[in-house]
Structure 1
Amino acid sequence: MAKDKYTILGDKIFAAIGGPENVASLNHCMTRVRISIIDDQKVDVAALKQISGVLGVVNEETLQVVLGPGVVNKVAQAMVASVGVGLGDPFPGTTQTNQHAANKEAVSAVAAQTHAAQKAKLKQTWWRAALKHISAIFIPLIPAFVGAGLISGIAGIMGNMQTAGMLGDNFTEFITVLKVINSGLFTYLNIYVGINTAREFGGTPGLGGIIGGLIYLPGVVAPLAINNVFTGQPLVAGQGGIIGVIFSVWLMALVEKKLHQWIPDAIDIIVVPFVTLLIMGVFTIFLVMPFAGWISSSLVGGINWVLNVGGAFAGFVLGLTFLPMVMFGLHQILTPIHLEMIKELGSTPLLPILAMAGGGQVGAAIALWLRAKKNKQLTRMIKGALPVGILGVGEPLIYGVTLPLGRPFITACIGGGIGGAVVGLIGNVGAITIGPSGLALIPLIANNRWFGYVLGLLAAYIGGFIVTYFFGVPKTAMQAKNEDGSLVVPEPVPAGTEIVYEPNTPVKLVSGTEQFVAPATGDLEPLTQVKDDVFAKKIMGDGYAVEPQAKKIVAPVSGTIMSVTATKHAWTMISDHGLEIIVHLGLDTVELAGKPFDLMIKAGDKVKAGQVCGEMDLGAIEAAGKATTIATVITNMAAVAKMTAPKEKRVAANDPAIEVDVRG
């Protein structure tokens, strides 16, 4: 029996990708066959592009072979039928037991591992790698941060109440006990970070702990001192901070690994730790700590200048930069400034401003909680760290939530700057002593000016929330994850089950001008700006796109609906003048199994331009790490005599987008 053209095309695709045995699973969307490849080295992309009928190839997490609507579903069905599986099902392995369920599970496992490796290879950057390491270093410390932070917050509130005369001296010993428990973590945090950093980079944890601990300069008691080799001034215990520890221990792990390669096994246990500690100890003390000292002196000069400027500007700069100072352990240099201000003025106006940084963290965490609610691992950490952050202990939020994600840390700093600007603008808001920030600082605000401090704190919360909600949530944070960090994968819906409308008479082109409208409220843009090569390179045809800001979707032109995918992420239609059109909701949204979409159209329906066709849940799409871009593409461009270029602008649904002159 002769093969039809779709089977032949499928066979050619198989031949170019290493055969069915190199396929983990296969599905399709409106225009592309989506193939999960087991071994990327066996794929001949150049040969694939040369196959007649293949319009384009996109090699990302899955291999995407662009065939176009009407063809793609038939070719995909022919390909899976030839190996005896369904769309989206695992392909059989190379063994003869290809009908056995266990074999399918094994293929799925291999595919998952391969996809993860391929994804890392394609999208990994040095910045993402660094953030991943930071996350691995601090996540094991989150329970300790939460427990010790709560104790610190309670001790701070009680201590402040005692200073304000609200508690008697009989609470002193209990408060001291709470501070001792809290200090078990925060006083020696560098050591714990050094141990975890060594473990993360493959070094000896004990050696990493020593490198972290030596930044405290143990054993150096006045009048003894170790001088900065660049300035001749004594080093200060703690210079270098957390970032200095991570950097030094990372280098230590590299040195230790090299020494293991060079030193004979017989003396390895003696020589390697000795030489590693000697080299890295000297390096840390004489280079890392002096460099941090240089940063410290520069910051002191900058802070003094900012304080002299004063007002909202000073508040913004100080609130913005305080969290980076905490990361470098440089916030301790502000203690003598606080004390001098209290001595001269009776209060320190600097502390309430710097406390706004923690408020920005709180606002950012709440925004992440709302935007990334499907990420159970992240929301669990936020739930634990948020109460501590509200009480003024920011480390759990910094190291467990915002810093590992990157962007939220920056937007949290901006929130702190906004709160600092408000406090600076109000003016004369000072603290009578130093201690925790957040809500715990309210009893210590001098001269009954606590209302100004609270306004600043609310501004920091709101600022951090708004900036993070709209600009600071990375797609990786919004991915649906279980509490163990594994991805939640929706059950696939076979994409080939859509119903296709077959008109009784052939569609004919009718000359004239057709007005296309925006399918949603949002930002109109040309296809070239879409972050998908199939659309941006106009492989399927030309048209326009909208970055939606509202969920309602309307028909872009009057015509007849020809097909709607089972995953509801796209439909095809024929306009009244005979143009063939694809409306695609989001990018790679076929993987979402239709959950974010609610379409009220079906194949065969007649629609008018601007008629409501359904809705798309923008938040759910973003939470899955997908773009919400809506692409409207004319696929039979030979029928187009002239088309106006879309102008980049904000549009409402049903606003004019482009005009198309159709050939008769």
Structure 2
Amino acid sequence: MAEEKITRIAREIYENVGGPENVRKVIHCMTRVRMTIIDETKVDLAGLKAIKGVLGVIEDETLQVVIGPGTVNKVAQAMVDMVGVKLGEPFPDTSDSLDELMAKTKANAKEKYNKPSKFKAVLNTIAKIFVPLIPAFVGAGLIGGLASVLSNLVTAGTLDLATWGQIITVLKIIQGGIFSYLAIYVGLNSAQEFGATPALGGVIGAVSLLLGMDPNAPLKNVFNGTPLSAGQGGIIGVIFAVWLLAIFEKRLHKFVPESLDIIITPTLSLLVIGLAEIFLIMPVAGVISSSLVGAINFILSVGGGISGFVLGALFLPMVMFGLHQILTPIHLEMISKTGSTQLLPVLAMAGAGQVGAAIALWVRLRKDKEFVERVKGALPVGILGIGEPLIYGITLPLGRPFVTACIGGGIGGAVIGALGNAGAIAIGPSGVALLPLIADGKWWIYLCGLLGGYIGGFVATYFFGIPADAKMKADNYATVGPKEVVEPTLKVVEPVKFKTTTIKAPLSGKVVKLSKLNDQVFASGLMGKGVAIEPTNGEVCAPVTGTITSILPTKHAIGITSDEGVELLIHVGMDTVELKGVGFECFVNENEHVKAGDLLLKADLKKIKAAGFSATTPIVVTNTKEYSAVEVISSTEVTKGYPLITIKA
């Protein structure tokens, strides 16, 4: 039914503007479809206004049909799909064969767009958990990579420990701020994604570190009696445990009396899920680890390029599940007996495959500017041997590139195995940082392996690892122009009943009535009641506790639904969609739950005004009709976080 409504609105708009042949191009912003009309005499304004679902029509440089958030992007996309162009592209001459062209483009769309799957949903969830961590990955990773290079040079005797030792220690402390406690950060983000209490998710992440365990009396694996080790189960184990936490906590909320909920629910949740993590999730990973020891020893005994390929290809999946912990004693035993570990350089090729895959993604998806920025940040870290940003932020969320990256790692491992197994004199990070530790002058073998991994990962990913939907998004990115992307929230929020609720000011400044705005949509109240603020500061904070429902790629407008069900639109500036994101920085993601006062975005007011746009920011209750009254409290100056609007149920 939803699709029929969207198609109907799109077709009726065309019918009242003289058909697609009278339209030069279509774009849209947060609230309205904007059309460049060829012959304005063919436009039936009354007919447009009469369309069910259209809130209003504005005549300006472009003809603007007001539809509202959540629907406008779908209608605009349907309109261009009917013609066979992308948003923002000039329309072709369709006067002779419009029906034929529409049928063709509809068939093409069915072939191009893959149906949603559970696997893609899982990958999407992983991306939402790890993408917010990428800036920390990149910063700490580069610092850690530098520390690794210096440390390896000290181990190799090139640098003096007395001179460089303290500097290396300081750099490693900074690096450890995220990588040593990554499980906690993942627990927090996973809880936000799954709808659990973030603090409880962080605790569940910390449980996997076994911080309170006495090393002299370790907890035992209930399956085979071996000691549990910190991190056993890996990051994937943490995500799974927090997913269970979310299910368990939500069910407790339904049955525990409200007066006891704050005591009983968190206590039982941590106890039950913590026990399951320690005595089930981590031991299962331990059993897998133990069985892999024999397999690894067998692979090593085979030798040559075959063993190199298998080990290089399988190492990253082992890291994901925390199974790489079992390799440390093997490395140490090899160094003790032979003076070097021939296993470490081979396994390091897994990171080389990731680097090659990331470069291929950069080349193939270069039009997707946001994705390229992530790759550019993660690549230097990956080259230095810190693989988390590439794994969790780039290849794994896309699915197929992770597999082709593993193939690239296998190719790099095969190169080293075939050339004679270079060894490392100590355990250290991979990437180019490992070069100083390669024994017996065989650094050139290791370097050949790196190049093999880079090339293998690049070729496998470039030709076989690019997901169709990612390619389509990238191809559309550059030509779309200002485009709103609104996806249904993944979280089902049951509104809280209230008599009166308060909306706080999202920014500081002078209060302006909507009717005073030089924009008919907001001034007329088409989008709902509310108020505007002439800001003195560019920081925009959450006016309510709730869920982010929509964010424009241009970052100038954001939608948020409070836990009580109030739907708000914050639109920074007038016509600032034309800035295409310049001067805006967003700090939240769609479907993220935020608290009142949390920073949502920053706007550079000087850039906005220098470009000739007003920075006046409307705050509108878009579901105004559901309430008996929406009243503005402040009428002159307001400070961020102070009461701004009251709503009566």
Question: What range describes the TM-score normalised by the shorter chain of this pair?
Answer: 0.5 to 0.7
Q: Do the aligned residues in 2 keep the contact of 1:357 with 1:417 (CA within 8 Å)?
A: yes
The 1:99/1:91 distance shift into structure 2, 3 A limit, reads farther
Query: Which of 444, 464, 472 is equivalent to 2:465?
Result: 472
Q: Do the aligned residues in 2 keep the contact of 1:391 with 1:440 (CA within 8 Å)?
A: yes
User: 1:222 aligns to what?
Assistant: 215
Q: For residues 205 and 96 of structure 1, what CA distance do their matches in structure 2 show? A: 39
Query: Which of 286, 297, 304 is equivalent to 1:311?
Result: 304
| Pairwise CA distance, 1:467 | 0.5
User: 1:136 aligns to what?
Assistant: 128
| Pairwise CA distance, 1:231 | 1.7
The 1:159/1:19 distance shift into structure 2, 3 A limit, reads closer
Q: For residues 25 and 474 of structure 1, what CA distance do their matches in structure 2 show? A: 34
Q: State whether structure 2 residue 66 is matched by structure 1 residue 105.
A: yes
The 1:96/1:236 distance shift into structure 2, 3 A limit, reads closer
Q: Deviations over 1:480-538 (max 9, x none)?
A: 569xx98962699xxxxxxxxxxxxxxxxxxxxxxxxxxxxxxxxxxxxxxxxxxxxxx
Q: State whether structure 2 residue 342 is matched by structure 1 residue 381.
A: no
Q: For residues 221 and 264 of structure 1, what CA distance do their matches in structure 2 show? A: 37
SS at match of 1:225: coil
Q: Do the aligned residues in 2 keep the contact of 1:20 with 1:91 (CA within 8 Å)?
A: no
> What residue identity is the alignment partner of 1:110?
T
| Pairwise CA distance, 1:264 | 1.4
User: 2:404 aligns to what?
Assistant: 411
Determine what percentage of the aligned residue pairs are the same residue.
Answer: 54
The 1:268/1:491 distance shift into structure 2, 3 A limit, reads closer
User: 2:502 aligns to what?
Assistant: none
| Pairwise CA distance, 1:460 | 0.4
The 1:209/1:165 distance shift into structure 2, 3 A limit, reads same
Q: Deviations over 1:241-297 (max 9, x none)?
A: 100000000110111111111111111111110111111011111110011101111
Q: State whether structure 2 residue 448 is matched by structure 1 residue 455.
A: yes
Q: Do the aligned residues in 2 keep the contact of 1:25 with 1:91 (CA within 8 Å)?
A: no
Query: Which of 143, 157, 170 is equivalent to 1:165?
Result: 157
Q: For residues 412 and 313 of structure 1, what CA distance do their matches in structure 2 show? A: 17
Q: For residues 29 and 356 of structure 1, what CA distance do their matches in structure 2 show? A: 54
SS at match of 2:480: coil
> What residue identity is the alignment partner of 1:166?
T
User: 1:589 aligns to what?
Assistant: none
Query: Which of 106, 114, 118 is equivalent to 1:126?
Result: 118
Q: Do the aligned residues in 2 keep the contact of 1:93 with 1:107 (CA within 8 Å)?
A: no
Q: For residues 239 and 274 of structure 1, what CA distance do their matches in structure 2 show? A: 24
User: 1:400 aligns to what?
Assistant: 393
The 1:257/1:427 distance shift into structure 2, 3 A limit, reads same
Q: How does 1:259-270 map to 2 (within 5 A)?
A: 259-270=252-263
> What residue identity is the alignment partner of 1:421?
A
Q: How does 1:50-61 map to 2 (within 5 A)?
A: none
| Pairwise CA distance, 1:222 | 3.0
SS at match of 2:410: helix
| Pairwise CA distance, 1:192 | 0.7
| Pairwise CA distance, 1:368 | 0.3
Q: For residues 287 and 50 of structure 2, what CA distance do their matches in structure 1 show? A: 60
| Pairwise CA distance, 1:165 | 1.2
Task: Compute the TM-score of the two structures, normalised by the length of structure 1.
Answer: 0.59
Q: Do the aligned residues in 2 keep the contact of 1:364 with 1:411 (CA within 8 Å)?
A: yes
Q: State whether structure 2 residue 109 is matched by structure 1 residue 148.
A: no
Q: State whether structure 2 residue 242 is matched by structure 1 residue 256.
A: no
Q: For residues 125 and 356 of structure 1, what CA distance do their matches in structure 2 show? A: 31
| Pairwise CA distance, 1:407 | 0.5
> What residue identity is the alignment partner of 1:240?
G
Q: Do the aligned residues in 2 keep the contact of 1:92 with 1:98 (CA within 8 Å)?
A: no
> What residue identity is the alignment partner of 1:130?
V
Q: Deviations over 1:118-158 (max 9, x none)?
A: 99998221111101110010011101111111111111111
Query: Which of 199, 202, 221 is equivalent to 1:206?
Result: 199
The 1:257/1:488 distance shift into structure 2, 3 A limit, reads farther
Q: For residues 409 and 90 of structure 1, what CA distance do their matches in structure 2 show? A: 50
Q: For residues 91 and 361 of structure 1, what CA distance do their matches in structure 2 show? A: 55
User: 2:612 aligns to what?
Assistant: none
Q: Do the aligned residues in 1 keep the contact of 2:56 with 2:67 (CA within 8 Å)?
A: no
Which of 18-27 and 386-395 deviates more? 18-27
Q: For residues 426 and 371 of structure 1, what CA distance do their matches in structure 2 show? A: 32
The 1:181/1:368 distance shift into structure 2, 3 A limit, reads same
Matched residues, number: 427
| Pairwise CA distance, 1:172 | 0.7
Query: Which of 273, 276, 283 is equivalent to 1:283?
Result: 276
The 1:437/1:99 distance shift into structure 2, 3 A limit, reads closer
Q: State whether structure 2 residue 480 is matched by structure 1 residue 489.
A: yes
> What residue identity is the alignment partner of 1:423?
I
Q: Do the aligned residues in 2 keep the contact of 1:363 with 1:412 (CA within 8 Å)?
A: yes
The 1:93/1:156 distance shift into structure 2, 3 A limit, reads same
| Pairwise CA distance, 1:466 | 0.3
Give the aligned CA root-mean-square deviation in angstroms. Answer: 3.5
Q: Deviations over 1:390-440 (max 9, x none)?
A: 111111100110001100000000000000000001113100001111111
Q: For residues 311 and 429 of structure 2, what CA distance do their matches in structure 1 show? A: 17
Q: Do the aligned residues in 2 keep the contact of 1:311 with 1:421 (CA within 8 Å)?
A: yes
User: 1:639 aligns to what?
Assistant: none
Q: How does 1:426-575 map to 2 (within 5 A)?
A: 426-480=419-473, 489=480
The 1:84/1:261 distance shift into structure 2, 3 A limit, reads same
| Pairwise CA distance, 1:232 | 2.4
Q: State whether structure 2 residue 258 is matched by structure 1 residue 233.
A: no
Q: State whether structure 2 residue 315 is matched by structure 1 residue 297.
A: no
Q: Do the aligned residues in 2 keep the contact of 1:195 with 1:207 (CA within 8 Å)?
A: yes
Q: Do the aligned residues in 1 keep the contact of 2:367 with 2:477 (CA within 8 Å)?
A: no
Q: Do the aligned residues in 2 keep the contact of 1:349 with 1:430 (CA within 8 Å)?
A: yes
User: 1:653 aligns to what?
Assistant: none
User: 2:572 aligns to what?
Assistant: none
User: 2:92 aligns to what?
Assistant: none
SS at match of 1:462: helix
| Pairwise CA distance, 1:301 | 1.6
Task: Compute the TM-score of the two structures, normalised by the length of structure 2.
Answer: 0.61
Q: Do the aligned residues in 1 keep the contact of 2:356 with 2:405 (CA within 8 Å)?
A: yes
Q: For residues 420 and 12 of structure 2, what CA distance do their matches in structure 1 show? A: 64
The 1:257/1:486 distance shift into structure 2, 3 A limit, reads farther
The 1:454/1:398 distance shift into structure 2, 3 A limit, reads same
